[in-house]
A = this chain, B = another copy of it.
């Protein structure tokens, strides 16, 4: 048994040997996805797809609570619409997949497989908005989008990915800005509470903002190799789209005014973020809120009378307590094999029940996050484990947050910056010039991540050019 266990575990490349290979190993061995014959496109297998469904549920609940409604827009967008906003088309045109033929008919106008849907939303908003009474419109859609990426990696960067995109229309600039902030906070809250993932919130530089936005805000997570992963973005467009798309409303005073718009999105990248925030040598470590199974129940000495029956009974009780439970009653693999497999798949809690446990009216409970093991009474086990889930989430957040803090440093010159971004975030003063961002990118492959809302200066001069600087910026290498 010990040998088999050893063998199973060593299939995963150690994180410190090759983090990138470790990631690929976890993604495939935990059966989250598979590669397909379609260039850069993945298939989400049941386990990975279920994680995405749970992410959707958690986000969608928050969208409803903040007054949003779901809609479904066409997946194809005529080229002429894409061309209406100059910065936008410049940003997205290079990575658009084009439909040029429909059935036997060669199309007069190419259709883009949507890379994002601002242009079609704005086209419809121009139809749907007439007066101030129609505002705000706060819509969201769940769909997949397509970007013709050169190099792809499962969940992190795929030609097709699944996401939600919120699109809202407001009467005033203030309301649009408030919406942008509300949704940034929705993402932060979701990341912290459900993904146990601490994030940096702040504003993007002009260079890094969304093509067509007036201002982009992001939540940035830190992976265990110290690199950044942009986990959600919220854009304030001002009137950048409403002017070319003619989205206007008649005000209470009877004046025709341009609307103020926002958009915001989060995607299947979040699954990559979860893996690289929490995973370890044994594989995936899932936060309970988005774990397809929160508890796996493994019978020990299952051939002994009454064991399987007891396990089924306990599984049912745990389900009644509101937990997602897998009873692994396979008879062709050993309990040890199952332990390894479910650890690899990141199930938060394993419960083992054998004849001796039954005798004692207890079960052996093992936490995935701490590997703590304890014999706990079967009576009230559901309630115990429900509480344990909260404790696991809190502990996973604490561990990730300590890592994040330990790998974030203030830097005051380029040498320090270069060293820091090798394994973490560098906080630095920045003059605001794109030239300095380019220089940092060229020398260290690091990019500006965002400017935190707390802009208390940590110095007076730009980390790069040495000129007077009044912006605090996080720099890091990024996925």
CB distance from A124 to the nearest CB of B (A): 6
Stretch at the interface among A101-109, A343-351, A422-430, A439-447: A101-109
Partner of A75, one of B34, B120, B144: B144
**A292: nearest residue on chain B (CB-CB)?**
B69
* A148–B70 CB distance below 8 A: no
Contacts of A123 in B (CB 8 A): 36-37
Interface centre among A44, A46, A50 (most CB of B within 10 A): A46
* B44–A72 CB distance below 8 A: yes
Contacts A98-B100, A103-B148: A46 and B74 contacting too (C-beta < 8 A)? no
Stretch at the interface among A89-97, A172-180, A232-240, A281-289: A89-97
* A160–B46 CB distance below 8 A: no
A61 within 8 A of B: no
Contacts A97-B99, A101-B100: A74 and B133 contacting too (C-beta < 8 A)? no
**A96: nearest residue on chain B (CB-CB)?**
B103
* A69–B50 CB distance below 8 A: yes
* B75–A146 CB distance below 8 A: yes
A332 within 8 A of B: yes
Stretch at the interface among A76-84, A188-196, A205-213, A457-465: A76-84
Give A81 to B101 CA distance when docked, in angstroms.
18
Contacts of A1 in B (CB 8 A): none
* A97–B76 CB distance below 8 A: yes
* B71–A43 CB distance below 8 A: yes
**A101: nearest residue on chain B (CB-CB)?**
B98
The bracket for how many chain A residues form the interface is: 35 or more
* B50–A70 CB distance below 8 A: yes
A467 within 8 A of B: no
* B74–A41 CB distance below 8 A: yes
Partner of A81, one of B37, B43, B50, B113: B37
* A45–B74 CB distance below 8 A: no
**A138: nearest residue on chain B (CB-CB)?**
B46
A127 within 8 A of B: yes
Contacts of A75 in B (CB 8 A): 41, 75, 113, 144, 146, 160
Contacts of A103 in B (CB 8 A): 94-97, 148
Contacts A50-B69, A71-B45, A99-B98: A127 and B34 contacting too (C-beta < 8 A)? yes
CB distance from A362 to the nearest CB of B (A): 32
Give A148 to B49 CA distance when docked, in angstroms.
29
Within 8 A of B (CB), among A98-152: 98-105, 110-111, 113, 120, 123-124, 127-128, 133, 139, 143-144, 146, 148
Give A128 to B36 CA distance when docked, in angstroms.
12
Within 8 A of B (CB), among A22-81: 34, 36-39, 41-46, 49-50, 52-53, 69-78, 81
CB distance from A435 to the nearest CB of B (A): 28
Contacts of A133 in B (CB 8 A): 332
* A43–B72 CB distance below 8 A: yes
A403 within 8 A of B: no
Contacts of A159 in B (CB 8 A): 102
Partner of A99, one of B70, B99, B128: B99
Give A18 to B53 CA distance when docked, in angstroms.
43
Contacts of A49 in B (CB 8 A): 69-72
Partner of A36, one of B38, B102, B124, B146: B124
Contacts of A120 in B (CB 8 A): 36, 38, 43
* A52–B78 CB distance below 8 A: no
Partner of A46, one of B41, B71, B144: B71
**A81: nearest residue on chain B (CB-CB)?**
B37
Contacts of A332 in B (CB 8 A): 133
Which 8 A-B residue pairings sit nearest by Cβ, starting from the closest?
A: A46-B69, A41-B74, A103-B148, A102-B148, A44-B72, A98-B101, A38-B74, A100-B100
Give A159 to B69 CA distance when docked, in angstroms.
24
Contacts of A101 in B (CB 8 A): 97-98, 100, 110
* A43–B74 CB distance below 8 A: yes
Partner of A111, one of B34, B38, B43, B76: B38
